[in-house]
Amino acid sequence: MAVQAENMDQTGNISKTIRGGKVPVRDLAFFCRQMALVLHSDITVLEGVQILIEQTEHKLLQDALRDIYKDMEKGIPFSDALNKHRGTIFPIYMANMVVIGGKSGTSDEVFAQLADYYEKDNKVRQKVKSAAMYPAVLTVLMVGIIILLFVKILPMFNDVLHSMGGNMPALTQSMMYLSVFASRNFILILAVLIIIIACVVFYSKSSVGSLLLDKIKITAPLMRGVFTRIVTARFARSLAILLKSGVSLLSALEMMENLIDNSFVEEKFKNTREGLSQGKGLVDSLAQTGVFPPLFLRLVSVGERTGFLDEMMLKSADVFDEEVDGALERLTAFIEPAIIIVLSIVVGVILLSVMLPVISIMNAIG
């Protein structure tokens, strides 16, 4: 039975965001897995929700489950009770899938699929965070060392070199001027840096800034390999879940428009739906985005020809999940030595600026 996406949203709007809720992906995965077990057992849904209230640690999710439990006691169906928290606690995509499961009588399968989806999505997010941790620590250390050299070390050499007399090279003079300025205006410089960082963070959270940041993730040579694979795996897995639940392809794409978690790709994704509505094939429509890898497009083509697109999407999602690991390793393997090289160059220039006048003075004495 094909379920149209328009019926999924009681307000008449297609899903607006996957982030929608403030509940971490890890807790969403746990909730979906427990609900799948409840629906697959002899426990009633009402009893299952009561059990989940006791087991859930996240406060917002626990409060939402209490509200759902109260609504169900009043005779409101589980899917309708959950949909009251769509976009605030539960992602709209999840709420839509719960409605689909209720209409098709496959709620246990839907929750099991959602659990798999959020568990794998959480693993990918953790991999990205772990891969970014070491370069971030190196960057902080590099900045700290440079600040220490300019604020504390160079001013000491400045006094020594002036006491020894002689003309200092232009490089040394420039470094000394910078160090004196940095030491005398350290608080001002720190305040300016904090303001700049705050402005960048604020801008990145705006619609324009978010679009630019997401575009950089997809188009920058170093980052493209990682984020295109993440987007591809997320797209393939969510599409497979929708197709397995009986949703038509066009309706599935409508529900997934804001599911990719990348505003730049979501803008490109609109052309895919338009292409399909005009009679184009899925492969041609996806290829026009310029985002998805050629291997994925070939797998989609095979799935369309054989009539097993949902199964092919699941397999391709697993493939690109594994490729994320390799892409992250290649990215960190490039970033780490690059940071060390930059730090070495900066420290080398500072040491050279200090040693040049010392050498010239020693030559003059000799």
What the chain holds in terms of domains, given with CATH numbers, is 5-105 (1.20.81), 122-366 (no CATH)
Instruction: Classify 60 as helix, strand or coil.
Output: helix
- Reported as a single tens digit per residue, the pLDDT across 108-131 is 888 888 898 888 888 888 888 888
List CB contacts of 341: < 8 A, sequence separation 6 or more.
none
Going by pLDDT thresholds of 50, 70 and 90, the confidence category of residue 258 is low
- Residue 224 pLDDT greater than 60, yes or no: yes
Given a cut of 90, whether residue 198 has pLDDT beyond it is: yes
pTM of this structure: 0.71
| Bridge partners, 86 (sequence order) | 90
- What is the structure's pLDDT at 238? 84
Q: Which residue has the higher pLDDT, 162 or 194?
A: 194
Q: Nearest CA to 243 among 82, 83, 108, 109?
A: 109
What pLDDT digit, counting tens, does each position of 145-177 carry?
888 877 877 777 776 766 666 567 787 778 888
Listed residue (20, 257, 293, 238) closest to 121, CA to CA: 238
pLDDT at 64: 92
Instruction: Give the distance, in angstroms, between the CA of residue 294 and the centroid of all CA atoms in the same chain.
Output: 23
Q: How far apart are CA 364 and CA 366, in angstroms?
A: 5
Digit-coded pLDDT (tens) for 53-103:
988 888 899 999 999 999 999 999 888 899 889 888 888 788 888 888 877
Q: Taking 60 as the threshold, does the pLDDT of residue 12 lie above it?
A: no
- What secondary structure letter does DSSP report for 4? -
